[in-house]
Chain A
Amino acid sequence: MHRRRSFGVRVRDRRVAGWLFMLPLIAVNVVVVLVPAASSVYYSFTDWSGIGGANFIGLQNYAQLLKDGEFLNGLWHNILWTIFFLIVPMAMGLFGAYALTRIRRFQLLFRVLYFIPYIVASVVNASIWRSILDPQSGIGALLHINPLGNPSLALWSVEFVNNWAWWGFLVVVFLAAMSGISPSLYEAAEMDGAGPVRQFFSITLPGIRPTFAFLGLMTIIWSFLAFDYVYVLTQGGPAGSTDLLSTVLYRDAFSNLQGGYASAIGVVMALISAIVVVGYLVLRRVRKWEI
């Protein structure tokens, strides 16, 4: 006799099936994310060299961080980096996207052109820009400056190069968000005599607020993970002027063979990101901000 299964049982089966489909992915994540992350936390409390065994030393690594000039220097540069990327590329991305919404012809072409640097490997981008900025044969020779060799300019120069590859991505994302805003709002505003600037601040920006907030959040997180452009262009130099937490971590882990200490830096970096994410969630869920 064929027995019809109840609705509840079918729903439960679907849920189980869903989890089973997720199982391989969860397994991969446990192996490549959870276990290394837990290992990092564990090793941050040890004197591990990165090779062989480790001895538990409590909070010594974290106490050392507070006195470590290289760590504090890297942290300060990360803060500067974050501020730059929260302002310059976000503004360029917003402006670029808003400008593109105003044109019909060649819009696709511009979107592609803006996006291309983002899909080129960072090592390639950085190597090309190293040649372009060369003080003897590139822009540096024309302007009589050495953007990557001058400690006062180096961090801004690396940020400029990274931004060159980054802002086009923001244009495309903001443009997609702006396309979701009803054209009737702009038509009504125009009839009321609002100009493009007023329309941007009164319609566009509120209309893309969730996207804007999300990209701001991700910018902060990604800024604390920045590594590749600095490593290729300056290796943290000259004289530590472009050192970020990631380059300090890399040096401590692989040049100084202080794996435990480098793990502590990694944990601090993760904590900074976690604080940002928690802040975002609090604003969304507790304060009910529409972001």
Chain B
Amino acid sequence: MSATLTRRTLLAGSGAAGLTALLSACSGGSGGEAGQIQFWNNFSDATQVKYFTDHIAQAYPGPGTVTVSNKSSNTIDRLIQTALAAGSGPDVIVTPGPSTGVTEYTKAGYLLDLEPYAKKYGWDTVFAKWALDASRIGGKLMTLPTSYESMVYYVNPATLSKLGLTAPTTLEEFEAFNAEAKAKGVIPIAAGNADWKGANEWHLVIALNHAAGPEAVYSALKGETKWTDPVFVDAISKLAGWFKKGWYGGGVQNYFTNNFPTVYKQLASGQAASMISGTWEFSNLGPYFGKAAGNSADWDWTTIPSLGSTTKNDVFDLAIGQSAGVNAHSKSVKDAASFLNFMTTDKKVLVDAVVEKDFQLPPIQVSAADFGSKADPRTVRLYTQLSAAKSIGYTTWTFFPQQTETYMINYFENVITDKLSVQDYLAGIQQKFDPELKAGKVPTAPAPTGVASS
């Protein structure tokens, strides 16, 4: 039998084939093949990708094998959202903390309830209680914290020595420090948000927890105190005033155009006397200090000064830098949960990653003895102090609901440019917060006097 293919048949066939191929490409499958664990992450650089692949993904003993795919920090959340909506996506899903997207993922049924695995692997005894509580939605554990962090006060000891200053511990010292640094032609606090508008919230966290105090923030998060309370008006007014005095980044306008490399260079070169940022900067500062930068500069950190009349200077603002859950539609659910357990609880693997490549630890119990002699003493001091913290603060990206957080970031710029009063700003926060609190979108926060590691 011979078959002839007419032009019409060929055209129709090719059209249908093209459409089929296109639709096939769009649909995909959920997760990878059984036994294959797809893991997407936004590593800070290529060396971290290689380290994670070689020392964590390949060191994972199974069941299942892990494939790592690095994504840009700016796009990873959109890529994951899109893939999940298409019924696909990685088997282990990362989010920028428990308050970002996790509620929506849970509602949509994208995330697996991890409670059975929490029992199986004994996570309640491994992780800090506050971190697991913040990761629960409706009483169910939906994600695990893969890294935690805090806000600290960075200094360049040589600059302080040259200026004859010491790191401040109280409000009076803080104001005197900044005024004196500025008078000597030095930027008091290196800061800028050109690369990331979210940097605004780092400073808001400082004002809320270290000027207003963690007790007030805790009360507001529970809905017992309004965000328009005078204690917050005073705290945000102070912060806005400091910005307008030109203490942050050398002036409000410069703050808007300083990018991160500029900020780090200012601290390293002595152009700036200090920097207020998160502990994630440990991995970012290296290239600007010492041998790597071809200079003799060094950096150190200390706790955020007390900026209120009743606040202490030993408050550690707790933050889950990243959360990870299991794709409910994964073909390798058990394997993915097993890998999630490995990458968040294997203490030796995790501590090695911190020492070797400045990864951040998840909120698990560690002591100085867990770090070898190669560890940077600043890192060891950080994690031992964090583990022992008696007084904690609340970061917006971990304990605040999403729309409230976005409003706080965007409209703070209106406050420091005199387009919005502090009172109206706080009223706007309250307006965003109320419906989110009612909808159960505020993550569970631990009491402010809770121990960070418990």
Contact = CB atoms under 8 A, between A and B. Distances in A.
Given A51-B108, A136-B262, A237-B413, A20 B15 contact: yes
A255 B402 contact: yes
Contacts of A237: 193, 197, 256, 410, 413
A31 B23 contact: yes
B120 interface: no
Interface in A218-275: 234-240, 251, 254-258
Contacts, number: 108
Nearest to B105: A51
A151 interface: yes
Contact of B101 (A23, A27, A51, A146): A51
B22 interface: yes
A31 B19 contact: yes
B18 A27 contact: yes
Given A24-B19, A148-B256, A254-B78, A52 B109 contact: yes
Nearest to B77: A254
Contacts of B19: 24, 27-28, 31
Contact of B414 (A28, A146, A240, A256): A240
Interface stretch (B6-14, B32-40, B215-223, B338-346): B6-14
B81 interface: yes
B104 interface: yes
Contacts of A23: 11-12, 15
Kindly state the interface size class of chain A when it binds its partner: 35 or more
Contacts of A49: 104, 107
A196 interface: no
* Dominant secondary structure at the B interface: helix
Interface string B78-108: 1001001100000000000000010011011
A255 to B, nearest CB: 5
Interface string B394-408: 000000001100100
B53 interface: no
B253 interface: yes
A27 B413 CA distance: 46
B26 interface: yes
B313 interface: no
A86 to B, nearest CB: 28
Interface in B387-430: 402-403, 406, 410, 413-414, 416-417, 419
A157 B419 CA distance: 20
A235 B8 contact: no
A21 B23 CA distance: 19
A24 B18 contact: yes
B110 interface: yes
Interface in A200-218: none
Closest 4 CB pairs of A and B: A52-B108, A149-B253, A23-B15, A20-B11
